[in-house]
A and B are shown apart, each in its own frame.
Chain A
Amino acid sequence: MNKVSFALAAVAAAALTLGAPAAKAGTLEDVKKRGVLNCIVNTGLPGFSYTDKSGRWKGFDADMCRSVAAAVLGDGEKVKFIPATGKTRFTLLNSKEGDVLIRNTTWTFVRDVDVKLNYVHTTYYDGQGFLIRKSKGVKSAKELGGATICIQTGTTTELNLADYFRANNMKYKPVPIESNEEARKNYLADRCDVYTTDASGLAATRATFDDADKHIVLPEIISKEPLGPVVRHGDDQWADIVRWTIYALIAGEEHGITAANADKMASSSNNPNVKRLLGSEGDLGKMIGLDKQWARRAIQAQGNYEEIFERNVGLKTPVGLARGLNAHYLDGGLQYSPPFR
Chain B
Amino acid sequence: MSPSETTSVPGDGGYLPGTHPDLKPPSNVHGPVHWVKVNLFGSLTNTVLTLLVAYLLYTIIPQLADWMFFNAAFEGESRKACRAVAPDGACWAFIGNRLPLFIYGFYPEPERWRVDLSFLLLILALVPVLYDNMPHRGKALVYSCLYPLIAAFFLVGGIGLERVSTDQFGGLMLNVIIGVTGIAFSLPIGIVLALGRQSQLPIVRILCIGFIEFIRGVPLITLFFVAAVMLSYFVPPGTSFDLLVRILIMGTLFASGYMAEVIRGGLQAIPRGQYEAADAMGLTYWKSMRLIILPQAMKISIPGVVNTFIGLYKDTTLVIVIGRLDILGIGNSSLADTKWQGLSTEVYVFVAIFFFVSCFAMSRYSLWLEKKLHTGH
B237 and A82 contact, CB distance less than 8 A: no
Assess the A46–B337 pair: CB atoms within 8 A. yes
Set of chain A residues within 8 Å of B334, measured between Cβ atoms: 44, 50-51
- Nearest to A208 among chain B residues (CB) is B341
Contacts A83-B329, A88-B323, A184-B342 given; indicate if A49 touches B336 (C-beta within 8 A): yes
For B101, the chain A residues whose CB sits under 8 A away are 51, 53-55
A80 neighbours in B (Cβ, 8 Å): 167
In the complex, chain B residues 334-374 whose Cβ is within 8 Å of any chain A Cβ: 334-339, 341-342, 344-345
Instruction: Pick from A21, A45, A82, A209: contact of B336, CB below 8 A.
Output: A45
Chain A residue at minimum C-beta to C-beta distance from B79: A208
Count residues of chain A with CB under 8 A from any CB of chain B.
Answer: 52
Q: Are B335 and A181 in contact (CB under 8 A)?
A: yes
| Residues of chain B contacted by A25 (CB below 8 angstroms) | 237
Contacting pair A181 B332 (CB below 8 A): yes
Contact of A159 with B by CB under 8 A: no
Interface of chain B, helix or strand or loop or mixed? helix
Look across to chain B and name the residue whose beta carbon is closest to the beta carbon of A14. Answer: B236
Cα distance, A165 to B60, chains bound together (Å):
41
Q: Is A85 a contact partner of B106 (Cβ separation < 8 A)?
A: no
**With the chains together, A179 CA to B320 CA distance in Å?**
12
Q: In the assembly, what is the distance between CA of A50 and CA of B98, in Å? A: 13
Given A50-B336, A92-B228, answer yes or no on A43-B320 (Cβ-Cβ < 8 Å): yes
Q: Are B106 and A319 in contact (CB under 8 A)?
A: no
- Tell me, yes or no, whether B204 is within 8 Å of chain A by CB: no
Cβ-defined contact, B342 with A43, below 8 A:
no
In the complex, chain B residues 52-71 whose Cβ is within 8 Å of any chain A Cβ: none
Query: Told that A19-B237, A53-B98, A83-B323 touch, could you supply 9 new A-B pairs with CB distance under 8 A?
Result: A46-B336, A50-B336, A51-B325, A57-B333, A88-B323, A94-B229, A97-B323, A179-B332, A318-B339
Some 23 contacts from A to B, beta carbons below 8 A apart, are A19-B237, A43-B325, A46-B336, A46-B337, A46-B338, A50-B336, A50-B338, A51-B101, A51-B337, A53-B98, A54-B101, A54-B109, A55-B170, A92-B228, A92-B322, A94-B229, A95-B229, A95-B233, A97-B232, A180-B336, A181-B335, A181-B342, A208-B341
Binding site for A on B (CB under 8 A): 79, 83, 97-98, 100-101, 105-106, 109, 167, 170, 225, 228-230, 232-234, 236-238, 243, 320-323, 325, 329-330, 332-339, 341-342, 344-345
Residues of A within 8 A of B (CB): 15, 18-19, 21-22, 25, 40, 42-55, 57-59, 80, 82-85, 87-88, 91-92, 94-97, 179-182, 184-185, 204-205, 207-210, 317-319
